[in-house]
């Protein structure tokens, strides 16, 4: 009975059933090819298109020194604490800048994107810190960032940060490449924004993002924007106490505990950190300096601090000079001032600007920018020193051609440009 049933089954099964193995084989290979094309080839094309659209054709490859620096970076374990990839997240872009795109690392093999962030992401580092800052930091991170846990790499130097050995120079050269490609790309932040906007990930958290939000808050800026630091409810005592603590934590390494410009990092920095005891600042001016930093020097911007913190720092920095303020109260005769004005128009205004705003025709091409005499006033000792020696590390030259009385006159004139109306120092 059973045998007959089997036989009937076999007779009834369709002919193609015998080819089932072949069909399954073809379907299997077909699906494999399909997924290979859909998941491998097509995204590859799209990535290549996207890279072609964003890459500047002359994107430079690493130089020999940069390549040695990159090898050092790997060997010294920098990548164990630092990632090199700004993710497509608002929180990342706010801290470090535009998100990292694939084409930027096309010369990197292996990539150093990394996953651990004991220290900050370095994908945009080149635009953030000056060379002298980097070397001082590499030598002893605690000189410039008081509570840093990063080890110092002193053996890459001949005894001090301003005497880097080849290794430190190579490492610095490599750090300078981080973010270079993005910076020179014709399609910068704006496109990244649009791309991010399209996939919705970034826009979810903030409706009014612009590329201005895509910046490392420590990166010095050339604009003169300043937040309003006056709208704080804190008393003057509270402000000063807060400012003093913040100054010790953030500024003393460079400007010195007393603000005299003699912190441990100062020795190797050029230009030197300002001696805050020799300078007066308007409140508006300080807000602008802290908000934007000083481009072309090691002085960072401090946009990562809250408005209340900045107000505290501003109030505190203004007290550093107060003790000396009375020493310069003798009024200068008008004839001397008039003589000073002539010298100023002849020699100084092309850089410092007719009104002393640091925006003369030549001045607006220089880094650091010439001093803005409206917001900062050096005492006469400092001005005399500057006229004798210039300001090393900047374009401010010495003036051996001016007689002592000329110097005195122009110094007095320059000091009158200070706008004390905006100063709130008692």
Site for ligand HEC in 11-70 (CB under 6 A): none
The residue written with tokens 């699906």 in the block is: 31
Phi, psi values for residue 337, rounded to 5°: -60, -40
What element of type H or E holds 286? helix 283-292
Q: Which is nearer to ligand HEC, 48 or 146 (CB)?
A: 146
**DSSP 8-state secondary structure symbol assigned to residue 136:** H
Closer by beta carbon to ligand HEC, 103 or else 281: 281
Q: Which stretch binds ligand HEC (CB under 6 A): 6-14, 48-56, 194-202, 393-401?
A: 393-401
The Cα–Cα gap between 221 and 198 comes to 29
Give bridge partners of residue 281 from the DSSP assignment.
376
* CA–CA distance, 173 with 63 (Å, rounded to integer): 9
Q: Which of residues 152-181 bind ligand HEC (CB under 6 A)?
A: 153, 171, 175
Residues 312-341 that bind ligand HEC (CB under 6 A): 313, 317
* Interface of this chain with ligand HEC, residues 84 to 143, rule: CB under 6 A: 118-120, 122, 125, 128-129, 133-134, 141
Q: How far apart are alpha carbons 90 and 34 in whole angstroms?
A: 36
For residue 77, state whether it binds ligand HEC (rule: CB under 6 A).
yes
Q: Which of 84, 101, 177, 250 lies at the binding interface for ligand HEC (CB under 6 A)?
A: 250
Choose the stretch contacting ligand HEC; rule: CB under 6 A; options: 6-14, 75-83, 107-115, 180-188: 75-83
Q: Which residue is nearest to ligand HEC (CB)?
A: 119
Which residues does 314 contact at the CB level (< 8 Å), separation at least 6?
Answer: 229, 243, 283, 286, 287, 290
Interface positions, 208-237, toward ligand HEC (CB under 6 A)? 218
Chain centre distance of CA 229: 22
Query: With contact defined as beta carbons under 8 Å apart, do 54 and 191 qualify?
Result: yes
383 scored as a contact of ligand HEC (CB under 6 A) = yes
Is residue 378 at the binding interface for ligand HEC, with CB under 6 A as the rule? Answer: yes
Query: Among 92, 151, 153, which residue's Cα sits nearest to residue 124?
Result: 92
> Minimum Å distance from CB 192 to ligand HEC?
20
Cis peptide before 161 (omega within 30 of 0): no
Establish if 145 lies at the interface with ligand HEC (CB under 6 A). Answer: yes
Token pair in block for residue 188: 């910068």
DSSP 8-state secondary structure symbol assigned to residue 363: G
Binding mask 257-296 for ligand HEC (x = CB under 6 A): --------x---x-x-xx----x-x----x--xx---x--
Beta carbons within 10 angstroms of residue 338's beta carbon: 11
According to CB under 6 A, which one of 50, 76, 195, 337 is a site residue for ligand HEC?
76
Name the minimum Å distance from CB 108 to ligand HEC. 16
**Residues 48, 61: Cα–Cα separation, whole Å:** 18
Q: Which two structure tokens, joined as six digits, stand for 321?
A: 């000079």
Q: Could you say which of 42, 48, 102, 149 contacts ligand HEC (CB under 6 A)?
A: 149
- In whole angstroms, the minimum distance from the beta carbon of 37 to ligand HEC comes to 42
Q: Tell the smallest beta-carbon distance from residue 175 to ligand HEC (Å).
A: 6
Task: Supply the minimum distance, in Å, between the C-beta of residue 79 and ligand HEC.
Answer: 8
Closest distance of CB 349 from ligand HEC, Å: 8
């Amino acid at each position: 009975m059973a045998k007959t049933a089997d036989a009937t089954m076999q007779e009834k099964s369709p002919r193609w059933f015998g080819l089932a193995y072949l069909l399954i084989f073809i379907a299997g290979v077909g699906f494999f090819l399909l997924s290979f094309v859909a998941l491998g080839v097509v995204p590859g094309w799209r990535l290549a298109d996207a890279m072609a659209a964003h890459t500047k054709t002359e994107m430079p490859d690493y130089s020999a020194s940069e390549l040695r620096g990159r090898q050092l970076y790997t060997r010294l374990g920098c990548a164990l604490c630092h990632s090199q990839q700004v993710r497509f997240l608002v929180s990342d872009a706010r801290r470090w800048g535009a998100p990292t795109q694939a084409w930027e690392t096309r010369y990197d093999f292996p990539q150093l994107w990394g996953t651990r962030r004991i220290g900050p992401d370095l994908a945009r580092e080149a635009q953030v810190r000056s060379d002298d800052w980097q070397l001082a930091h590499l030598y002893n991170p605690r000189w410039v960032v008081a509570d840093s846990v990063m080890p110092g790499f002193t053996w890459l130097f001949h005894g001090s940060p301003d005497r880097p050995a080849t290794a430190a120079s190579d490492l610095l050269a490599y750090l300078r490449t981080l973010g270079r490609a993005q910076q020179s790309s014709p399609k910068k932040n704006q496109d990244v924004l649009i791309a991010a906007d399209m996939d919705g990930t970034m826009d979810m958290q903030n409706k009014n993002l612009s590329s201005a939000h895509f910046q490392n808050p420590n990166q010095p800026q050339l604009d003169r924007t300043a937040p309003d630091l006056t709208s704080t409810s804190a008393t003057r005592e509270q402000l000063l106490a807060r400012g003093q603590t913040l100054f010790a934590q953030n500024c003393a390494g460079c400007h010195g505990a007393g603000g005299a410009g003699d912190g441990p990092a100062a020795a190797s920095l050029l230009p030197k950190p300002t001696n805050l005891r020799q300078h007066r600042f308007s409140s508006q001016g300080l807000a602008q300096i802290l908000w934007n930093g000083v481009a072309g020097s090691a002085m960072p911007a401090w946009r990562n601090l809250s408005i209340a913190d900045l107000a505290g720092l501003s109030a505190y920095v203004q007290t550093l000079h107060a003790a000396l303020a009375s020493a310069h109260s003798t009024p200068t005769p008008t004839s001397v001032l008039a003589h000073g004005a002539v010298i100023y128009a002849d020699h100084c205004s092309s850089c410092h600007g007719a009104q002393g705003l640091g925006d003369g025709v030549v001045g607006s091409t220089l880094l650091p920018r010439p001093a803005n005499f409206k917001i900062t006033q050096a005492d006469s000792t400092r001005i005399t020193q500057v006229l004798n020696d210039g300001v090393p590390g900047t374009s401010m030259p010495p003036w051996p051609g001016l007689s002592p009385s000329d110097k005195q006159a122009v110094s007095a004139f320059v000091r009158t440009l200070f706008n004390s109306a905006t100063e709130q120092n008692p």
